[in-house]
């Protein structure tokens, strides 16, 4: 049995193509959700073609998203409680050919890998091998990747560089890209694109950035004062909570703050943007494929997609942010047309290994 363990909307988007492909072939799977991002993940599933989950391990902290260290500790304690209550079921998994599939670099990725270890079954890591080379940036994502990389028994690496970061791992499979490629192709709808005047898209949500109030303030001031176009800023629950005071301070007509939206609408928003400023690695991958000028506002990135073409890394240098806003058009590229479906590669390999049985 294939068990998908995830807890954020981004993970649902990237694992969704695997589930829909299994569904199309009549192959069974289960979902174990941690709801690290409580309130958004379940609502996103229908638009992604994902059915209701079998197990919900926790619901954030008391039904709200995780906002700090205490919230994380309470959330982890509830997941541990679920594991204790279901220990008989977990032990019973050892009799079958089961695998827990996790994605990327979230706390839930670590949780899923640990649960697989506790249950004595295999763990497959999708988007394996990505490294920034600095455990502090991004934090805690770089640590999450390294931990899962040590626990997982099967590694789906998106490119040669990622595979080279797993030199002593026995089962490394090249997927020729990330499954977000399929998420974009499966759900993109040009009819949802915004019409009218040009706009930039901004997404800032990582703990390492939001935990630096001075940098957040300087970044927002630079964006609002230097952008040649109006800005559409997309915020999740964490960012809306963390940025509430700053968003009130910089509020003006040319800055539109919107909540997270269904993935098809979000992809259309990105594809129609004059530029994108983000601290999200997943968005970097999407815009690299779409060819939209993108500034990744991070100290370091573990991803190579788009770098040297339509993607620029800021290194948290506000001078780079200003230069990008005044000259982003030179980074525009034609959209890419991948020849290989990463999701097809993963599903075929899981089936070949005997994890999926009709």
> Distance (Å, rounded) from C-alpha 288 to C-alpha 270?
11
- Per-residue pLDDT at 129: 94
pTM: 0.80
Please tell me the predicted confidence (pLDDT) of residue 190. 64
Instruction: Identify the pLDDT of residue 116.
Output: 95
Instruction: Tell me how many domains the chain contains.
Output: 2
CA distances from 126 to 55, 175, 184 (A): 21, 9, 17
Angle made by CA atoms 343, 346, 352, in degrees to the nearest 5 = 135
Domain membership of residue 103 (yes or no) is yes
Whether residues 250 and 172 share a domain: the answer is no
Which pLDDT belongs to residue 137? 80
At 121, which CATH number?
3.40.50.2000
Q: Are residues 17 and 73 in the same domain?
A: yes
Query: Which pLDDT tens digit goes with each residue over 70-88?
Result: 999 999 999 999 999 999 8
Same domain, 27 and 92: yes
Tell me which residue range forms the domain holding 230: 186-331
**Chain position carrying tokens 């954030």:** 60
Would you state the pLDDT for residue 358? Answer: 57
Q: What are phi and psi of 115, to 5 degrees?
A: -60, -40
What is residue 96's predicted lDDT score, i.e. its pLDDT?
Answer: 73
Look at residue 119 in the predicted model and tell me its pLDDT. Answer: 92
Q: Is residue 37 part of a domain?
A: yes
What order do you get walking across the sheet with 55-56 strand by strand? 55-56, 29-33, 2-6, 99-103, 122-126, 154-157, 172-174
Whether 345 and 280 map to the same domain: the answer is: no
- Tell me if 357 is assigned to some domain: no
At 204-216, the pLDDT tens digits run 988 889 889 999 9
Mean pLDDT of the chain: 92
For position 191, what pLDDT does the model report? 64
Structure confidence by residue, pLDDT tens digits, 271-291: 999 999 999 988 999 999 999
Point out the residues of the chain with pLDDT beneath 70: 188-194, 358
**Is 358 inside a domain boundary?**
no
Q: Is residue 69 located within the same domain as residue 156?
A: yes
* Same domain, yes or no: 22 and 154: yes
Whether 167 and 139 have beta carbons less than 8 Å apart is answered as no
What confidence score (pLDDT) does residue 13 get?
A: 93
CB of 283 closer than 8 Å to CB of 14 = no
Residue 76 sits in the same domain as residue 129 = yes
């Amino acid at each position: 049995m294939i068990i998908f363990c995830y807890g954020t909307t981004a993970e649902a988007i990237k694992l969704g193509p695997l589930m829909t492909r299994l569904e199309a072939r009549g192959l069974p799977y289960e979902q174990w959700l941690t709801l690290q991002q409580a309130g958004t993940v379940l609502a996103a599933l229908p638009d992604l073609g994902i059915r209701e989950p079998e197990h919900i391990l926790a619901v954030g902290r008391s039904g709200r998203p995780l906002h700090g260290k205490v919230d994380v500790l309470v959330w982890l304690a509830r997941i541990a409680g679920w594991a204790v209550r279901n220990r008989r079921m977990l032990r019973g998994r050892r009799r079958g050919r089961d695998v827990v599939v996790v994605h990327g670099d979230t706390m839930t990725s670590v949780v899923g890998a640990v649960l697989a270890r506790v249950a004595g079954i295999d763990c497959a890591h999708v988007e394996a091998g990505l490294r920034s080379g600095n455990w502090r940036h991004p934090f805690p994502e770089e640590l999450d990747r390294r931990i899962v990389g040590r626990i997982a028994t099967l590694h789906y690496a998106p490119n040669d560089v990622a595979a080279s970061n797993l030199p002593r791992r026995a089962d490394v499979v090249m997927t020729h890209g990330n499954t977000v490629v399929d998420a974009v192709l499966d759900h993109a709808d040009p009819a949802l694109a915004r019409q009218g005047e040009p706009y930039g898209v901004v997404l800032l949500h990582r703990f390492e950035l939001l935990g630096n109030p001075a940098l957040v303030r300087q970044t927002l001031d630079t964006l609002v004062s230097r952008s040649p176009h109006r800005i559409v800023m997309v915020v999740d629950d964490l960012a809306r909570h963390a940025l509430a005071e700053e968003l009130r301070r910089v509020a003006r007509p040319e800055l539109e703050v919107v909540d997270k939206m269904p993935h098809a609408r979000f992809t259309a928003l990105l594809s129609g943007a004059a530029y994108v400023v983000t601290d999200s690695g997943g968005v970097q991958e999407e815009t690299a494929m779409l060819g939209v000028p993108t500034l990744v506002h991070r100290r370091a990135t573990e991803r190579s997609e788009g770098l040297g073409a339509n993607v620029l890394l800021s290194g948290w240098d506000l001078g780079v942010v200003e230069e990008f806003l005044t000259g982003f058009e030179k980074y525009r590229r034609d959209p890419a047309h991948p020849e290989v479906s990463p999701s097809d590669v993963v599903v075929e390999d899981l089936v070949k290994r005997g994890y999926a049985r009709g």
